[in-house]
Amino acid sequence: MNTERPVILVTNDDGVRATGISRLVEALPENADIYVVAPDGPRSAQSSALTMTNLLRIFHHPEMEKEGSNVHWMSVNGTPVDCVKLALHAVVPRTPDICVAGINHGSNAGNSVIYSGTMGAVMEACTLGIPAIGYSLLDHSMNADFSKTLPLVREITEKVIEKGLPRKICLNINFPAGQKIEGIKVVATAESHWTDEYREYTDPSGHKFYLVTGDLINDNPDDAGTDLYWLPRGYATIVPVTPDQTRADMIPRVRDILNV
Amino acid sequence: MNTERPVILVTNDDGVRATGISRLVEALPENADIYVVAPDGPRSAQSSALTMTNLLRIFHHPEMEKEGSNVHWMSVNGTPVDCVKLALHAVVPRTPDICVAGINHGSNAGNSVIYSGTMGAVMEACTLGIPAIGYSLLDHSMNADFSKTLPLVREITEKVIEKGLPRKICLNINFPAGQKIEGIKVVATAESHWTDEYREYTDPSGHKFYLVTGDLINDNPDDAGTDLYWLPRGYATIVPVTPDQTRADMIPRVRDILNV
């Protein structure tokens, strides 16, 4: 049995001051050394983006740390992936046993996963060989009530620290809004798409501009094997995802199409 | 036979003024209506990021258009994915027959694909049901010589316009540096990782900052089924990739690990 204290890396895309990351830290095991390295402000929908053209800094937040606490609070003026990479480069004393991200204020179910900064951080940790989980609550409000998610966050995190995850596999976990979680379903990402993605405005000079908006539509609403089926029914969903986007099974078909 | 003129959407992550996108447009079929909607400046490593907190504008570039040309030039002050989404929302007259991105100045082989803005745009078009291809040349210089890639770009683009691609599959195509292309290989993404990802500096006030750098290491250098094997040997590589990161085959193992 490994008697060393676990090292846990924590990040998010809502920023180091978000309620969700504080609640996530509360749910983590007390016997661990916890390093929070999160963006210095909101970085939603940053996917796996890297900061290439700005200098990156790491800020320490002793004002957020209790004396003698096992939790170290830092922020980075970059994306969630920058946070994971820089944490590994310059913060954590050894490779973490797990990386947890969230708890996101809002859903990362359906095809949101590809845009999510929270899941970008999780994919990065997974790429680096670290078991990684993204947690999200289907409530965008800054005062969202995370309390019903915390026992599950702790239980799942502890199991993954103990047992690991399959190679190149990480978890996208979403919790339903509302007072009660009916159960947990391990399912696939629902095929889905966004509609009405922009609202058009006219600025005071008469020039058009656009702001992103939109609704996520479930393409197969009756498919009980997917996250978007179970979340509105009050269930938490766990989807195994991978950063490796290769579809090697399609190589013969592509050869055929291109005649190469 | 469809006698309508093809509609082609073109974007990149190096920006509308990059040499690579001009050369890509030159390689496209003359009988098509071509809409270039590219970032207004460099947006490398933006992955599938969306602009959430700035207003987005579309700029028309009549100064880049020849009179009577079939090529319409526009830019957006956002990410490559913003370009694709806004083009669909507000620019193209109908759903394009294909979206091509590039030609990127630099490699998108190995695990670069997950960070690439070029491939972010391609994944977005694919998500929206549009056949999509990312083209990259393994030469970062702004004066890179794209000429040897152009006949292949034209041939591959025309074949995909004619035959389409499998559902939810898009292509990550990389061309080797050097004077000659030895051949074409349809292969998988090489498992790979980055080392020495940051350089540390001290600013004039004595505070540390970091800039991203690093080398991409091929984890299985003898695997002839991968892009990083063939590119240094002078071959172009074509990898079928998907925006859907779900690994449904892992659902039973995750149920077992989490005991749910």
Q: Which residue from B53, B164, B240 is facing A247, i.e. has the nearest CB?
A: B240
Domain positions in chain B: 7-188+220-251
Confidence class for position B196, pLDDT limits 50, 70, 90? confident
Q: How far is CA B23 from the centre of its chain?
A: 14
Q: Which two three-digit tokens encode residue A126? A: 């997974």
Residue ranges of chain A with per-residue pLDDT less than 70: 1-3
Assess whether pLDDT exceeds 60 at residue B142: yes
3-state secondary structure chain A: CCCCCCEEEEECCCCCCCHHHHHHHHHCCCCCEEEEEEECCCCCCCCCCCCCCCCECEEECHHHCCCCCCEEEEEECCCHHHHHHHHHHHCCCCCCCEEEEEEEECCCCHHHHHCCHHHHHHHHHHHCCCCEEEEEECCCCCCCCCHHHHHHHHHHHHHHHHHCCCCCCEEEEEECCCCCCCCEEECECCCEEEECCEEEEECCCCCEEEEECCEEEECCCCCCCEHHHHHHHCCEEEEEECCCCECHHHHHHHHHHHCC
Chains A & B: contacts with CB separation below 8 Å: 230
* pTM of the predicted protein model: 0.96
A246–B241 C-beta distance less than 8 A: yes
Q: Which tens digit of pLDDT belongs to each residue from B114-138?
A: 999 999 999 999 999 999 999 999 9
A57–B244 C-beta distance less than 8 A: no
Q: Which residue from B113, B184, B203 is facing A245, i.e. has the nearest CB?
A: B113
A7-188+220-245 is classed CATH 3.40.1210.10: yes
Cβ neighbours of residue A3 closer than 8 Å, sequence gap 6 or more: none
Q: Which tens digit of pLDDT belongs to each residue from A56-102?
A: 999 999 999 988 899 999 999 999 999 999 999 999 999 999 999 99
The CB-based long-range contact list for B61-68 (8 Å cut-off, 24+ gap) reads B61/B16, B64/B16
Nearest to B125 by CA among B185, B162, B184, B172: B172
A259–B240 C-beta distance less than 8 A: no
Residues of A in contact with B81 (CB under 8 A): 47, 115
- Per-residue pLDDT at A142: 84
Report the alpha-carbon angle A142-A147-A151, nearest 5: 135
Quote the minimal CA–CA distance from A168 to chain B in Å: 10
- Per-residue pLDDT at A255: 97
CB A109 within 8 A of CB A228: yes
A248–B111 C-beta distance less than 8 A: no
Q: Which H or E run includes B118?
A: helix B117-127
3 state DSSP class of B114 = helix
Give me the mean pLDDT over the B233-242 stretch.
Answer: 98
Nearest to A109 by CA among A161, A179, A171: A171
CATH T-level assignment (fold) for domain B7-188+220-251: Stationary-phase Survival Protein Sure Homolog; Chain: A, (3.40.1210)
- Per-residue pLDDT at A1: 46
Residue B17 CA to residue B136 CA, distance in Å, equals 16
- Per-residue pLDDT at B159: 97
Q: Which H or E run includes B195?
A: strand B192-195
A184–B260 C-beta distance less than 8 A: yes
Residues of A in contact with B188 (CB under 8 A): 246, 248, 251
Q: Concatenated DSSP letters for B199-219?
A: EEEE-TTS-EEEEE--EEEES
User: At what angle are helices B19-27 and B150-163 packed, to 10 degrees?
Assistant: 60
Q: Which residue from A50, A209, A242 is facing B212, i.e. has the nearest CB?
A: A50
